[in-house]
Structure 1
Amino acid sequence: MQRAYNFNAGPSAMPLEVLQEAQAEFLNYAGTGMSVIEMSHRSAEYAALHAETKALLRELMQIPDDYEIMFIQGGGSTQFLMTAANFHTQKYAAYVNTGVWAKKAMAEGKFFGEVYEAASSADKNHSYIPDSFNIKDGTSYVHLTANNTIYGTEYKSFPKFDVPVICDMSSDILSRKVDVKNFDLIYAGAQKNLGPAGVVIVIAKKAFLATARQELPTMLKYATFAANDSLYNTPPVFAIYMVNKTLHWIKEQGGVDAIAQNNAAKAKLIYDVIDGSGGFYKGHAVKEARSLMNITFNLATPELEKDFVAQGKAAGFVGIGGHRLVGGCRASAYNAVPLEACAALADFMKKYQREHE
């Protein structure tokens, strides 16, 4: 079977071993005679899976005991809403505007009070990460977007603040080591590095959860999920099952440090082509802010970019067109994208340049 070179930005590539394991036990999970998607979320078999998934996350991310781990439906976009609904309790909420998703999060925050930009990279089309911040008195929290899938930038290190920090890590969770203790709440949609769409991982400091607004609908309260082990209603069982498989795979690769080393090597293959192209390929992000997950670049004209994407697709490269809002080209080299795929794309880029200069 010929597998595509999958550079989709999400849903994205998953480890072949994980897909094969899921396929092998799809009709009979853990000897139950049922698929995992058929069984009760109250069953002993699912309870064991659920607990193990949390334990693997805690181990791989070194999550302290005073943090809750929750599985929530609705994607990152619902988290834009939930974070503000629960924690925008003072006069302001601060957002660092590093692109489209940060702006979307800020738009949801406006439903619950006044928001402002603590910093922005909009002046240079989100090609860099700001390093100077303005935090007003009476700020409930500052919201960061760790990695920017559309513009291809990421924080290499995270700033410290005197107010709680909420971070969207949807695009780079478990791609590199982060110190969870530096965040009050982390959320991440699974569909880029951890599994299929359908579940969001939320990691929150228990003391921070205690500060949340209480007068909210049941399903918008983090307290509902924390108090019920994410089982107040039926959780996205299959998505959590696939996250479990992917976490096992990450551990088998050598853990987060090994994954990070591989991700750096993958991204270097493609960035080296961009840097060595003499301007044929133009990277969007400044070098010191380049994402290892989302490699964004342009060619001389939109027409040439369209041809590059079309020829790439014919050669087996999927998902290398830029986001519809900004155009250009993008290769999303998430955890499960193999080194060989990035090497093949680098070779294709060199060949395309030779034929079109």
Structure 2
Amino acid sequence: MSSKIINFSPGPSKLPEDVLLQVQQELLDYHGTGISVMEMSHRSPEFMKIVTDAQENIRQLLNIPSDYTILFMAGGGTGQFAAVPLNLLPSTGKAVYLNTGTWSAKAAKEASKYGRVIELKPDFKSPSNEIQWDRDEDVSYFYYCSNETVHGIELNFIPDTHGIPLVADMSSNILTKDFDITKFALVFAGAQKNIGPAGVTLVIIRNDLMGKQSVHCPSVLNYSVMAKENSLHNTPPCFNLYVMALVFQWISDQGGVKVMEQRSNAKSQMVYEVIDNSSGFYSCPVPASVRSRVNIPFRIQNGNEDLEKQFLDEAKRRNMIQLKGHRSVGGIRASLYNAVTVDEVSLLTTFMKDFMKSKLQ
């Protein structure tokens, strides 16, 4: 049993302990200024350095070329559901949305307020990675969510849009695996899964996509305005951005994205092996080809709610918290973001085996 709380929350999620300790150390006096980051002017040299250091770190971590701009915005992923069409979708235009679950469906619904949305629902039982759809030269962009936290669906490929600008919500798997940013026109990620506390959103946009915003686009959602003023058009979520900058540095110190990917693969494999070798005691409702590495939903004896409650209660007694599945689907869900260690996942899988053994005796 762990003596420390192990947080498997889907978000806001666990932060690296090293980062929290540094925040604690600097909380009252940031780098000799005598004040906290929470009290600091966002236009001070000290805070502006936090912003530029964070931009440089994420640019190196993801190998982002110079023709992409890095923005830090408020409003979370939900704010980007509106910002994307307000910046990229003409009122007479069309956008394609790949509906793979809750968050892509919400994004499509929001975008439909600003233009025509074509929704696609893929068949994950097909072995092909090709997304079948009627291509149209008038489509402004193709949108998808690379990992759906509620249903535990993660695409292990990048859709081929045949030249149409590709937009991705990577809120829950950013920096958990290496990918080619040049295949994307825009990537955004709410921080509260892998890269910081809730309240700041990372946006990476190819420069040629800016300057096409609707006349109705609010300034705080306008990528051109935010880029011109280096994310400081208005007061940003300063403390949240500061912590996110520390997380970027922590990932760099750990060995970068490739190390995060290796750990992510190892952690998810450990849990899926217990599920798949349980002779049906545990089951995962997601087809193997699109199983998420970072959000693993599972049921006990095909949805035995009494056993699932016992599992959650016993897990809590063992200091493992926030394992309950999303209210819309029920069951159990283990979220294995970057800050969750391999050793902590090992404790979870040991408990899963112990619980199964106790119920089958």
Identity of aligned residues (%): 39
Q: Deviations over 1:199-252 (max 9, x none)?
A: 000000000113333442222311111111000100111111111111111011
Residues 119 and 134 in structure 1, CA contact (< 8 A), matched pair in contact too: no
Matches within 5 A, 1:113-262: 113-121=115-123, 131-137=130-136, 138-161=138-161, 162-262=163-263
Contact 2:131–2:160 (Cα < 8 Å) also in 1: no
Question: What per-residue deviation string (whole Å, max 9, x for no partner) do you get for residues 296-327 of structure 1?
Answer: 11112122212211221121111111101111
- Written as runs of structure 1 = structure 2, the 5 A alignment for 1:30-179 is 30-89=31-90, 90-121=92-123, 131-137=130-136, 138-161=138-161, 162-179=163-180
Deviation at residue 135 of structure 1 after TM alignment: 3.9
Using the alignment, how far apart are the partners of 1:130 and 1:257 within structure 2?
23
Give yes or no for contact 1:94–1:135 (8 Å, CA) kept in 2. no
Aligned residue number for residue 21 of structure 1: 22
Q: Normalised by the size of structure 1, how large is the TM-score?
A: 0.95
Alignment of 1:275-286 (within 5 A): 275-286=276-287
Structure 2: which amino acid aligns with 1:133? Q
> Partner letter of residue 145 of structure 1?
C
* Counterpart secondary structure, 1:284: coil
Alignment check: 8 A CA contact 1:129 1:154 kept: no
The TM-score with structure 2 as length reference comes to 0.94
Structure 1 position 136, deviation (Å): 4.1
The answer on 1:318 being equivalent to 2:321 is yes
Q: How many residues get paired?
A: 354
Instruction: Give me the whole-angstrom Cα distance separating, in 1, the residues matched to 2:331 and 2:130.
Output: 26
Residue aligned with 2:354, SS: helix
Secondary structure of 1:166 counterpart: strand
Separation in 1, partners of 2:218, 2:292:
37
Q: Provide the C-alpha distance between the structure 2 equivalents of 1:44 and 1:65, rounded to a whole number of angstroms.
A: 23
Distance 1:129 1:76 in 2: 29
Is the contact made by 2:86 and 2:216 (CA closer than 8 Å) also made in structure 1? no
> In the alignment, is the contact (CA less than 8 A) between 2:177 and 2:257 conserved in 1?
yes
For structure 1, list consecutive stretches of 5 or more residues without a partner in the other structure: none
8 Å Cα contact 2:3/2:319 also seen in 1: no
Q: Distance in 1 between matches of 2:348 and 2:232?
A: 42
Preserved contact between residue 268 and residue 294 of structure 2 (Cα < 8 Å)? yes
Contact 1:214/1:221 (<8 A) preserved: no
CA distance in 1, matches of 2:158, 2:289: 14
Distance 1:112 1:164, change over 3 A: same
Helix, strand or coil at the partner of 2:110: helix
SS of residue in 1 equivalent to 2:156 = coil
Deviation of 1:118 after TM superposition, in Å, equals: 2.9
Displacement of 1:130 after TM fit? Answer: 6.8
4+ residue runs over 4 A deviation: 127-130
* Structure 2 contact 131–159 (Cα < 8 Å) conserved: no
Q: Distance in 1 between matches of 2:8 and 2:129?
A: 27
Structure 1 contact 50–240 (Cα < 8 Å) conserved: yes
Report if the CA contact (8 A) 1:85-1:213 is conserved: yes
Q: Which consecutive unaligned segments of at least 5 residues does structure 2 have? A: none
- Alignment RMSD: 1.8
Q: Higher mean Cα deviation, 211-220 or 183-192?
A: 211-220
1:129 is displaced (CA, Å) by 9.6
Mark the CA change 1:30 to 1:51 in structure 2 (over 3 Å): closer, same or farther. Answer: same
- Equivalent residues of 2:130, 2:160 under 8 A apart: no
Residues 131 and 317 (structure 1 numbering): CA distance in 2 closer, same or farther, change over 3 Å?
farther
> What letter corresponds to residue 349 of structure 2 in structure 1?
A
CA contact (8 A) 1:294 1:333 kept: yes
For 1:155, the aligned partner's letter is L
Superposition deviation, residue 3 in structure 1:
2.5
Distance 2:203 2:219 in 1: 17
